[in-house]
Every structure is written in structure tokens, then in C-alpha cells.
Chain A
């Protein structure tokens, strides 16, 4: 099956016909500036290649949907603790290619921390492998990290080996009300960080996001706990010090991840975790430009994610900057006009350009998706 991808890449190279690499096709409307006249899909490249439950590793084809991995591993009391924004119908190939993670990255790290190995077809139609099927490996230069988050511009990922975890005996989701006042919010978050809790996920939700997950429309902190019963119970007790706990459910996380009907613009702002309250406040001002904007933030990572259902014009983002914040803005979905203004290029440095040249000498893989390559 990799051979078919290899043939398609070789042919595109001979014709100098740039390819748009796709899998589940759920984010094709994100507005990314790709210049390509052909589509190459790995969507049909799906299924489990190898799964040894006792090793807690699984090897799957790139087009395998997260839901399928979830099903197969759950039967063995295991899981792949990655829940990128979107749905579980997303493919593992696209999730790795775009380095997409979700709320669980608080407890389990980003997707780059959980990929053990891959197979890919580079732009010159060579099949390469990096990493392996073991959980620790430093043999050779780290092609795995290079391929993760390269948005298909260095190679078409065809297969992945992932690290799995045992499913916790107990999982519970609870919500705590969060103060809206920035100073009080800062105090609350600091106390939470120092409390004897080690959550799987810890997100701050604005009122719209709270309503979206089925909670009263107020600013809240949504917490997922997991482990044995004693671990979960002791954390519930610790959280009670922060106010009344509202019982939640696992489905709330799926609701939070699910793209909204009519979402136009999605962006993330990240920076130092301790400065999250200020970042949250600045992002709230941007959110005011669109009716019912959804906002949520990873408290541990300090990243705010904002979803607008109308296009207020790119200038609205000027409000995000603060003199000493040094924050980073990343667009997930936006009209084409926004991209050139916001993300001129994520690969405009010499090393990145050299890498692109080395792995895709003809420039046929997703050209422009990370910005121009000169």
C-alpha cells in the first residue's frame, strides 16, 4: 500500500505537479495557503499493522481513525491518550503531521511525546523509516520529531508506531466555578497548580464553552482525573477546597473538542503559563468582536484557544499583543486573507529551508502550507 503512495509521489515529481496531502479531510476548509493541483489521500491506508498489548505499543497505517485505535486498544484495557480538537474520526496520520493535541496533553504530553516510529514517502519518492517499535530509542538522528508537525511537507506519512497507556480504573470529570476577575483568577490557578492533584486534563472554559459542554453558562475550570479509586477520591477531596464541585462526564471533553457549526476563525495564543490570566483577558477582548465566541485554555500549558463564528477582520488580533508578553499566535482556521498577514512563514529560517530542500527537492509536497519556501 505504501507502494501506491510511492508511485503517486514519483509521478507527481516527474510531472512537477504539487500535491495536497489529505487523510480524513476534516480540516480542508481551514484556509491554509497550499498551492497544489493534485490531491494525494492516505485516507484508504487504514488499519492496524501490529499490536502487542503487553508491550503497550501499536503500529497503524496513517489513515486509521483515532476512533478505531480507541476501539482496538480499549478491548485490551489500554488507550492512546491523545484527543486533538476536532473529532475522533480524524486520522492518526493527520494528527501527527499537524502535531495536534488536545486537553489530555496536560497529563500525557503532546503527540510528539507519544510517537515512537513512522514510515513515510519523501518528496523524491523514497520510503524512509524513523524511530522503531520500542519505547526508548536514540539510534540515529530523530526523524520522528522532524516528521511530527511538518504538515506533510517533508514526507507523506504512511505508518506510525504509538505509545499506549493502561486505561485508568477510574476516570472522573468535574467542574469548578472560576472567578472572572483577572487577579482572583490568577490566585485560583496558582493555588490549583500547588494543590495535591495531578489531573489528566485541566482547562479553563468561558461561559460559551461551558454551555457547549452542557454546563451552566459561567466561566469554569473543567478537570479530568484518573487513576485508581484512591487516587481519584483523594483528588476530588482536594478540589473541594476550591468550591462546590459540579459533576461532569467524559462526553464533555468530546463536546469541547467538536468543531462548531459555522466556525470561521480558530486561533491559539500561548505563552508563559503563569501569565495565562492576562492572556485570557486579552483574548476575551478579541472574542467580543464575534457573537458567542468560544474560549478555552490549557492551564498547565498556558495556551488559550479561541473560536469565532464571524470574521471581524484580521486587525482585531492587534489587541492580543502586550509589550512584555512575548506570546505566540498560531492560526488553526481562518480565511485565506488572514494567513499571509499572521503567519508569513513558519519555515523562513535557513535550517528549515535546507530540510525542505533535502526531503522534498522538487517542492511537490503541500507547498506553501507552512508559508513560503524560498
Chain B
């Protein structure tokens, strides 16, 4: 169907205002949170209700039009970039449908902003645990697409562990219930398969999330070190002690300096080589005992000082520096790559040293601010994407950093997803047969592969999907 006609059809569903077709209007949707990439959508459509979303997906299906779902566009792997295909924005669907404090769950539309959900749950003594740094902007739908994490996922788990059910619309327009918002469900874990599928399996229409009882006591501490190596080793020793902190975050000197010179200054010691932001929560008596153990581990591991927040204001200030570190880095350069990789927690010191060597070799700056407790690294590189030579150096360094993480037994992404950015790296960790299995998963949800085409698994890894059942019927069927 010609684009103009498709746009008219979509406008008849959502209203003219919510279909963008002119290049100038689409400009803002040419990029997402990943710098250095621009893709021009064919057009953009923004349904405001469940009915409209269903009708939009079905119209696209009738036309055979590929599309890219998008939440708030805060993703850092280019997953929401639409290259001459329809961009389907879900952020207008932001109703909270139900908060059930008795059963500790809430049902929301996919466009609800993560922090907004927490503002509703908070007064009930509950919280929605996954807390990506972009929590003030990112949507639950986007969190599901990326299986988003955050600092507190160390103790509480990632998005996957907090979603009970999803009503989804598959790319062909069929509506399916994944998981169960009441009890257990037998059969394949389609809910688990859908979470983290980066918009390739369909769109969530509503989501039932688990809410967690707020811990009675939260203690936040800051340990500062004169050596990166010591901070890394203390991280490993805290994990090895068996205590599970609610969060265990690492910031290096580059990050500290940037934060402290910004409006987000958190009182981190400016001369430290690294700080660890450690939060313990739970029952009051138990937490105090663990605080003492962790403090001892920090001091005996070489910490100069361990500062413990004495009230909520101090606690929030310590966190502000961490949560706004990426924003603070915006002052350093026009662009910032927020990289994401995971390594075994015993390899922290070793890999951080390697990253420093790689940065020096390519004459780039790396600021490390990451979820140390999970081994989830975020080497961030401030740079100017319009400077082609610098971009090339950044690209080269990135590739070497990924290689180092994979060599250490790690993964190419812990919470940002593969998207477009990491397509070239996924073959470093999965064999052709494993990638083919992932293609089979995708084809089970979207046989035509129209949803978020070209993302997550390289196209050349996927053989042709065979839609005709090939297996013998005589071997299947229940016993009477």
C-alpha cells in the first residue's frame, strides 16, 4: 500500500494528529537513546487506546507492513529505530487499570512510566522493584521489551522476575494472554519468552506486575577508595560473603569528577579513585548487623572511609549522583555511549584494568559507572559523533571492550538489549545453531518477521521459516 494511503488508514483509527508523515515531523523519531545512529521512519502512529492499538496492528498486518514498537525511546541499543518502516509509539497508552494492594499486583497499560507506577504503589507500602536509571521517563512496555534492570535488581531481580501476565497482540493481530494474573500456568513459559524480546514478538496491551513490600529499613553507605583495584576486589568479597545488598554500585574517578562538578553533586570525595555505593535493606535488626559486616569488608579491603547516610535526605543525595551520572556526563561532550556488558563478578578488577588499557590505546575517555554487584559493566564514552575519526576510535575501543568481556566469560549485554548496536557481537557468544533456535522462537510469535525487523539476531543467522507442519501426526496426541 502506498505510504500516503496507509497513513490515511491509520489516521482514520487514531486521528490525523497522531499520525506523523512529513520528514520534519518525524525528525524527533529518527533516533533513540543510542547516539550516532539515525534512521528515518516511514511514518509514525500513536494509538491512544487499546482498541486503537489493536486496530492499528491489524491494519498493518492486512497491509503486510513491518513496524517498530517504541515506548519512551530511552533505549540504549537502537532497538526503537525504524528504518523506513512504520514506527508504532505506545506512550499514549498510560492508564493504570488496577492496583490490588491485597494481592500485591497492579495492571497497567504499556505506556505507564516506571516511576509513575512507583508513586502510586509507594503510599500503599509497596514498590515496583526494577528501577532503570531512566525510571523517570521509560515505560513499562519498554522495560518489558528490554527486560530492563537497574541498581536494585541485584537483590530484587530484573523485569522478568516482576511480571505476572501480559495481554499481547501478536504482529498478525491475534490477541493472546501470556502468563496468568491469578495463579500458575502450565505449558511453555511464553511470558518469559516475550519479556526481553525487544519488540520482535508483538506488543503488550496490558501488563500485570508484581508489587513488593517495602523493606522497613534501608541503609545506604558510600565507601571511597584510592585504588580501582581495591574497590573491585571489595565488590567481589561482599558478593562472596553471601550478603545480598539491595544495590552495589561502582563509580570511578572520571564519573565522580563529572558528577561533583554538576548540579547533581552528591558529596562524593573528588580525589577518590573509585567509590562504591552500597545499599542494604530488610528488617531493621538484620540490616544493622549486615551493615557492620559490609563496613568491615570495605575497611579491611582498603577503603579510606565508609560514610553511612543518617537520614533520607542524605540517602537520596548519595543516590542522586549515581542516578544522574549519565545526565551529568552530558556536559562533557555532545554524545555519550552508555555501554553495557556483563562479566563474572570475580573478574571485575582484571577487566577494569583491561578497559583502562584499551581506552589509553585509542585515546578516548571511559567513565565507569555500573552495577558492580551483578558484574554488569557500563563503560561510558563521551565523544563527538560528528567527528568521524573520533567515532571510529570509539567504535574500535567498544569492540575491544566487548571482546574482553566475552573472553572473561561474560555477556554482551546485561540490561540494554542487542537492538541494532550489538548485532555484530551476538555471534561472539552464540553458535549458529543457538541463533537459529532464537530465530525459531521469533517465527513462532511472528512468522512473517514484521515486528522490529533486522534487530536482535542477524538476518543471515535465520534460515527460511517453514510454516508447514512437518512432523508426524501419528506421534502426537494424548493417550485416551
Contacts and interface: CB of A to CB of B under 8 A. Distances in A.
Interface of A: 16, 18, 33-35, 52-57, 77-78, 99, 109, 112-113, 122, 126-130, 132-146, 148-150, 154, 165-168, 190, 193, 196-198, 227-235, 268-274, 301-303, 326-328, 330, 336, 339-340, 343-347, 349-352, 354-355, 357-364, 367-368, 370-374
A359 B442 CA distance: 12
A97 B183 CA distance: 20
A141 B438 CA distance: 6
Interface stretch (B25-33, B255-263, B303-311, B343-351): B343-351
Contacts of B412: 139
A158 B442 CA distance: 23
A53 B147 CA distance: 27
Task: Point out which of A52, A145, A326, A349 has the most chain B C-beta atoms below 10 A from its C-beta.
Answer: A145
28 contacts: A52-B344, A99-B189, A134-B343, A136-B149, A137-B411, A138-B416, A138-B418, A139-B412, A140-B438, A140-B456, A142-B197, A143-B438, A149-B189, A150-B188, A198-B282, A228-B290, A234-B285, A270-B184, A272-B100, A274-B103, A328-B185, A345-B478, A346-B185, A354-B444, A357-B470, A357-B471, A359-B437, A373-B476
B97 to A, nearest CB: 16
Contact of A53 (B180, B197, B240, B342): B240
A104 to B, nearest CB: 15
A360 B469 CA distance: 11
B37 to A, nearest CB: 19
A54 B236 contact: yes
B385 interface: no
Nearest to B347: A55
Nearest to A148: B189
Interface stretch (B87-95, B270-278, B423-431): B423-431
Contacts, number: 307
Interface of B: 100, 102-104, 146-147, 149, 153, 157-158, 160-161, 170, 174, 176, 180, 182-193, 195-197, 200, 213, 216, 236, 239-244, 282-290, 293, 342-346, 371, 374-376, 409-418, 422, 426, 429-431, 433-438, 440-445, 447, 456-457, 466, 469-473, 475-480
A199 B240 CA distance: 22
A54 B186 contact: no
Task: Point out which of B161, B182, B371, B437 has the most chain A C-beta atoms below 10 A from its C-beta.
Answer: B437
Given A54-B240, A227-B286, A368 B418 contact: no
A192 to B, nearest CB: 12
Given A33-B478, A109-B161, A138-B147, A128 B183 contact: no
A346 B190 CA distance: 12
Contacts of A233: 285
Given A134-B411, A138-B196, A368 B216 contact: no
Contacts of A359: 437, 440
Contacts of B153: 136
A331 B279 CA distance: 42
A235 B476 contact: no
Contact of B414 (A34, A134, A168, A368): A134
A123 B121 CA distance: 45
A364 B183 contact: no
Contacts of A143: 434, 437-438, 441
A361 to B, nearest CB: 5
Task: Point out which of B174, B184, B236, B346 has the most chain A C-beta atoms below 10 A from its C-beta.
Answer: B184
B346 A55 contact: yes
B413 A139 contact: yes
Nearest to B241: A166
Nearest to A230: B285
The 10 closest A-B pairs by CB, nearest first: A166-B242, A231-B286, A145-B192, A270-B183, A358-B440, A346-B187, A363-B471, A354-B444, A230-B285, A33-B479
Contacts of B444: 351-352, 354-355, 357-358
Contacts of B476: 35, 363, 367-368, 372-374
A240 to B, nearest CB: 15
Contacts of A301: 184
Contact of A303 (B157, B184, B375, B479): B184
A291 to B, nearest CB: 27
A370 B447 CA distance: 23
B200 A229 contact: no
Contact of A109 (B157, B431, B478): B157
B470 A132 contact: no
A137 B410 CA distance: 9
A54 B239 contact: yes
Contacts of B243: 166
Nearest to A331: B186
A35 B477 contact: yes
A83 B186 CA distance: 19
Given A139-B429, A140-B438, A150-B188, A328 B180 contact: yes
Contacts of A190: 102
A316 B190 CA distance: 31
A133 B188 contact: no
Contacts of A78: 242
Given A231-B285, A368-B477, 16 more contacts: A126-B437, A127-B431, A133-B344, A134-B375, A139-B412, A139-B418, A139-B422, A145-B189, A146-B441, A154-B188, A193-B213, A272-B103, A303-B184, A352-B444, A357-B469, A362-B472
A41 to B, nearest CB: 20
